[in-house]
Amino acid sequence: MSPTIDSTIPDLQVINAVVTRSDLELFEPVSFNCTRGQVIHMVGQNGVGKTTLMRSICGFRVLHSGQILWDNKDIEKNKNFYLNSAYLGHRDAHSPLQTAWESLHFYQQLYTPGANKGDIDPLLNKLDLLAQADVSVDHLSFGQKRKLAIARLLLSERKLWLLDEPFSGVDRAGRELIENIFVQHISSMGMIVLTNHGRLQNSQLLGCVSELELFQHNIMLKEL
């Protein structure tokens, strides 16, 4: 699906990104690259702007200044970027009227039309949600919803995962499971950009992690 791989060019480049909220710059300009097999772990105190930056990387928000490139092209209207990445935010993105199975089926159809329905049950099983397959998403517990969102990521088969606190509300066993899933994703040349307040524990995963710390800045807006 992707063009020939030139491994010298990082796939995702964030260059001097500055985001603002009500005319305040949140943190000092941030630059980082993310190449295949790499995990970028964004850390920073509450309110430093991790979610805001993440939403900018998704192209939902416009950066105040700086650039975000995918394969050396700006991500704005860059369909190639969007078709190679998947996003999980603070909200789980399940429509409340569907059951767990239906929600995954819906996303499967969106990501890879015509894919095999049979793949969904094993996936639910993997995340320990098989018993909840026919429960309305609305009725899942806090952690179950989060796990279902992780199942969606797996379904998407995308290279770049953009994850905002993927572990929040997930139990201990689930946490280990998800870290294992990350390891698998990374070892098949995937990329992950995530925020998380706890420490990652899986030693294999830790080998690929670069920590990116955001520092609070809060200076007045400079002239463009």
Partner 1 sequence: MTSTLYRLFLRDCKHHLRKQSDILNPLCFFVIICSLFPLGLSADRELLNTIGGGVIWVSVLLSMMMGLNQIFRDDYEAGVLEQFLFTHTTLTQVALAKIAAFWCLSALPMIILAPVMGTAYHLNGDQILVLMMGLTLGTPTLALLGSIGAALTLNLKNGGVLLAILILPLFAPVLIFGAGMVSAVGMGLPVNAQLSLLGALMFGSLSLAPFATSFALKNSLDY
Partner 2 sequence: MNVLLKFYHRLGSPREFYKISSALIPWLGWTSLILILLASYLGLVVAPSDYQQGDSYRIIYVHVPSAWLSMFIYVVLAVSAAIGLIWRMKMAYVIMICSAAPGAWFTMVALITGSLWGKPMWGTWWEWDARLTSELLLMFLYIGIIALYNSFDERRVAEKSTAILAIVGVINVPIIHYSVEWWNTLHQGSTVMRADGPAMDVRMLWPLLIMAFGFNLYYGLTLMQRARNQVLVQEARSSWVQSLVTEREQQ
Ligand X SMILES: Nc1ncnc2c1ncn2[C@@H]1O[C@H](COP(=O)(O)OP(=O)(O)OP(=O)(O)O)[C@@H](O)[C@H]1O
Please tell me whether residue 58 binds partner 1 under the rule CB under 8 A: yes
173 contact partners, CB below 8 Å, separation of at least 6? 128
Instruction: Based on the shown chain and the rule CB under 8 A, indicate whether residue 180 belongs to the binding site for a copy of itself.
Output: no
Stretch that binds Mg ion, among 56-64, 137-145, 203-211, 213-221 (CB under 5 A): 137-145
**Is-contact 50 44, C-beta < 8 A?**
yes
Give φ, ψ of 112 to 5 degrees.
Answer: -135, 85
51 binds, among Mg ion, partner 2, partner 1, none (CB under 5 to 8 A by kind): Mg ion
Stretch that binds partner 2, among 73-81, 116-124, 193-201, 214-222 (CB under 8 A): 214-222
Give the shortest CB-50-to-Mg ion separation in angstroms.
5
Give the C-alpha separation, 16 to 113, whole Å.
37
Quick one: residue 23, left, alpha or beta (phi over 0 = left, psi -120 to 50 = alpha)? left
Examine residue 170 and tell whether it contacts a copy of itself (CB under 8 A): yes
User: Taking the complex as a whole, how short is the minimal distance between the CB of residue 223 and partner 1, in angstroms?
Assistant: 22
> In the complex, which residues of this chain contact ligand X (CB under 6 A)?
21-22, 26, 44, 46-52, 132, 135, 139-144, 169, 171
Q: Based on CB atoms, which residue is closest to partner 1, 41 or 145?
A: 145
Rounded distance, CA 18 to CA 66, Å?
A: 6
Closest CA to 161 of 143, 188, 140, 142: 188
Residue 124: C-alpha distances to residues 76, 127, 161 (Å): 34, 5, 19
Q: Are 98 and 110 in contact (CB under 8 A)?
A: no
| Residues between 195 and 224 with contacts to partner 1, criterion CB under 8 A | none
Q: What is the DSSP letter of 93?
A: -
What is the largest distance, in Å, between two alpha-carbon atoms of the chain? 56
Q: How many residues does the chain have?
A: 224
Of 28, 47, 131, 142, the one binding Mg ion (CB under 5 A) is: 142
Residue of 20, 51, 67, 180 interacting with a copy of itself (CB under 8 A): 51
Helix (H/G/I), strand (E/B), else coil: 211: strand
Interaction of residue 132 with a copy of itself, rule CB under 8 A: yes
H or E element that contains 194: strand 191-195
In the set 18, 39, 53, 140, which binds a copy of itself (CB under 8 A)? 140
Task: Return the one option of partner 1, partner 2, ligand X, none that residue 38 interacts with (CB less than 5 to 8 A, by type).
Answer: none
Q: Does residue 196 touch Mg ion according to CB under 5 A?
A: no
Question: What residues line the site for partner 1 (CB under 8 A)?
Answer: 55, 58-62, 82-83, 85-87, 89, 91-98, 106-107, 109-111, 113, 156, 158
Question: What residues line the site for Mg ion (CB under 5 A)?
Answer: 51, 142
